[in-house]
Structure 1
Amino acid sequence: MEIRNLFGELKQKIVGKHIKIVFPEGNDHRVVRAAARMKFEGLAEPIILGNPRDVHSLLTDLGFANPGIEIINPNDYADFNQMKELFVEIRKGKVSPEDAETILRDVNYFGVMLVQMGLADGMVSGAIHSTADTVRPALQIIKTKPGISRTSGVFLMNRENTNERYIFADCAINIDPNAQELAEIAISTADTAKIFDIDPKVAMLSFSTMGSGSGAQVEKVAEATRLAKESRPDLALDGELQFDAAFVEATAKLKAPDSPVAGQANVFIFPDLQSGNIGYKIAQRLGMFEAVGPILQGLNKPINDLSRGSSSEDIYKLSIITAAQTLDN
C-alpha cells in the first residue's frame, strides 16, 4: 500500500497558484517564519500586517533577508478610506464612520477586509489573539455561505503511517448546536473532507444506534440526520450511530445492517462541543493521530484560527490548508 503524504498532496494543489494569504500578526516570529516559508516554497503570496521596519527586522533575524513579501501597515494604508466606506456599508448602520476608523486599526478586522475586497484570498490568525478576535470579524464581514447559519470548526485526524484520515466536527465553536445547526455542520464537514481527498461517509454520532436509546439528545441527532439528508440527498450520511457502529464493520452488521455508512464512516459529527473536544483529544493522545486544526468552515472565504500555543510548523500547515480551501470557494 502506497503511503500518501497529506501535506505533500496539498502542496501540489497550491504550488504556483499565487494564492494570497493575510497574516495579521506580523510582530510574532512564529507567524513571520511560517509566512516566509510559504513564500520561499512558492505555496502562497503572503501579506504580513505590521510595521515594515519591524517585520523586515524579524525576517532578517530568521534568515529571510530579501524574501519579497508584501508588508502592509494598517496605520498608513493608502486605501484606508475606501476600506472604511465599504466596512460601514457592510455593517449597514451598525457602525459609524468614526467607529469604523477605530475598528479597522485592529489587524484582524483589517485583514478580513483585505479578503473581502478581493486583495487577499484567505487569512490565518490567532497566534496571539483569541478565537473570538479572529472569528468575530469574519462573521461580521465575510459572513457564512448560503444555507449555513454559523461557522464551525473541524479537526483533520491524520495518521500517515497507516494512510488513515478522518474528519471530526464540531470540536471548536458551537457548544450545543440544535438539530438544524448540526445538519449544517454535517453538510459543511462533508464538503471540507473533499479538500483532503476524503470521499465523505458521514456518521451522525450519538450514544444510540438507530433508536436503541432514547431521550432529547438522541432525538436531536435523529432530526439533524433527517434534515441533512433532505438538504443533501447526494451525501452518504446516516445516523444516529454509536461510534463503534459507525467505525467497526462487524459491529455495524449487528447494530445497523441496512446503513450505507455504518462500519465505513470517515467523517464523524459529534452531537455537541463537549463530546467533540473529548473525542479528538482521545484520538490524538491514545490513537497517536496528528490533530490538524481547528479548520473553520461555512464562511464565504477561508479565515482560520490558530491556537495561541501554535508552533511555526503548526502555522505553516494551517496556512497550506487555508490556501487549499481557497481553491474550493
Structure 2
Amino acid sequence: MSILNKIKENAKKNKKKIVLPEGSEPRTLRAVEIVTKEGIADLVLLGNENEIKNAAKGIDISKAEIIDPLKSDKFDLYVNKFYEMRKNKGITIEDAKKAIADTMYYGCMMVKLGDADGMVSGAIHPTADLFRPAFQIVKTAPGVKVVSSAFIMEVPDCPYGSDGVFVFADCAVNPLPDEEELAAIAIASAKTAKVLVGIEPRVAMLSFSTKGSGKHELVDKVRNATEIAKKLAPDILIDGEMQLDAAIIKEVGELKAPGSPVAGKANVLIFPDLQSGNIGYKLVQRLAKANAIGPVSQGIGAPINDLSRGCSVDDIVNVIAITALQAMQ
C-alpha cells in the first residue's frame, strides 16, 4: 500500500473536521466530493452559500457543511476573541470585524476555538495569506521556535531511505534558517516522519561537506545545528554535517562517516536553506518521477496546511488527508 493510501486509511479511523476557506474554488469543490465520498474527513466550506452552490453545479457537496462567516451565529464571538488577542497590537473592534469576515481568518478562528480540527487553503491564496492569520490566531506550538514545511517523497524502485520513502525539509517556508531554526526543523521533520509516514526517523543534516571534509562558515552552521538538535532531542537519530551520497548510500556513508548511526541509511533529509530544499525536492520529483506529498506544515499549534496555487484536485485531497491525520495526534 502506498504512503498516501496508508494516510487516507488512517484518517478514516477517526474522522476529523477540516475547514476549507476557499469555498467556491472549483478544484476544492471537486476534492470535497472525493473526500466526503471516501469518508476521509468531515468538511466545512466557507463563503457565500449561493456562490458556493453555483460553483458546485454538477459536483456533489451535499455531505459538506457550508458556513457564511457574515451570517454565522459565531461571528460576534470570533470577533470579540480576535479583538482580545490583538488589541495590544492596536486593532479596533471594527478592524476585528473586517478580519473575521475574511474566510482565512474565520477558518483559523474555528481551529483555534475547537470548532474545526484543521484547515487547508492556498489553491488561490498566496502562502503569506494563509500563514498571517495562522500566526496571529493559532500561533506556533509550545516550545517551537520556527514554523517549517516538509515533503514526503515516495521514490519508485529506490533502495535508499525507507524503501524509497523520505521526508525532505524545509522546502517551502524558511529562506535562510539560522542554527537554532535548522535544528528545530530537523526535530519537527523527524516527528512528521514518525507520525505521518510511520517510519523511524534517521535524520541527516545536509551540506557540501561530510564530517569536516570542507571548511566554510556554511558548513559550521550545519555542524552547529546538528549539535543543537542532538541536545534538544537525544532520542532521535540525527547526524551531520553530511553530503547527500554519504547520507543515503551505505558504502559511501561507511567510507566518509564511519560509525555514524545515520550515514548511508538516512530517511529524513534536512537541507541547509530554502533554495537547496526547493530545488532538491523538485529534482527528485521530476527526474526520479517521485510522488511529492505536501507541503506539510510543521510547528503550528494546530494542523494548518498550505497548497500550491498550481495544485491539482488530487493534491487537495491528499493534503486534506494529511491534515486530518495530523489532527489525530
Tell me if both proteins adopt one fold, taking TM over 0.5 as the criterion.
yes
Match of 1:131 in 2: 127
Once the two structures are overlaid, the 10-residue window that deviates more, 153-162 or 273-282, is 153-162
CA contact 1:5–1:160 (8 Å) conserved in 2: no
Equivalences, count: 323
Change (3 A) 1:237 1:92: farther
Matched, 1:82 2:82: no
User: 5 Å matches for 1:165-204?
Assistant: 165-194=165-194, 195-204=196-205
Change (3 A) 1:251 1:82: same
Matched, 1:211 2:207: no
Change (3 A) 1:88 1:321: same
Distance 2:41 2:156 in 1: 24
1:311 CA displacement: 1.1
Indicate the percent of aligned positions where both proteins have the same amino acid.
48
CA contact 2:24–2:56 (8 Å) conserved in 1: no
1:139 CA displacement: 1.1
- Aligned residue for 2:224, secondary structure, equals helix
Q: CA-to-partner distance for each residue in 1:84-123, whole Å, 9 max, x for gaps?
A: 1111222252122111111111111111111001000000
1:159 CA displacement: 2.8
- Aligned residue for 1:112, secondary structure, equals helix
Matched, 1:295 2:296: yes
Matched, 1:227 2:222: no
Distance 1:92 1:255 in 2: 55
Matched, 1:262 2:263: yes
Match of 1:238 in 2: 239
Q: CA-to-partner distance for each residue in 1:3-48, whole Å, 9 max, x for gaps?
A: x321221122111523000011111111011122211211111000
CA contact 2:14–2:328 (8 Å) conserved in 1: no
User: Residue type matched to 2:76 in 1?
Assistant: N
Distance 2:316 2:78 in 1: 27
When normalised by structure 1's length, the TM-score is 0.95
Match of 2:10 in 1: 13
Gaps of 5+ in 1: none
CA contact 2:297–2:305 (8 Å) conserved in 1: yes
Change (3 A) 1:210 1:7: same
Match of 1:99 in 2: 95
User: Residue type matched to 2:68 in 1?
Assistant: N
1:170 CA displacement: 0.3
Once the two structures are overlaid, the 10-residue window that deviates more, 315-324 or 86-95, is 86-95
CA contact 1:36–1:46 (8 Å) conserved in 2: no
Once the two structures are overlaid, the 10-residue window that deviates more, 31-40 or 236-245, is 31-40
Q: CA RMSD in A?
A: 1.3
1:161 CA displacement: 5.4
- Aligned residue for 1:7, secondary structure, equals helix
Distance 2:247 2:119 in 1: 34
CA contact 1:16–1:42 (8 Å) conserved in 2: no
Distance 1:315 1:68 in 2: 17
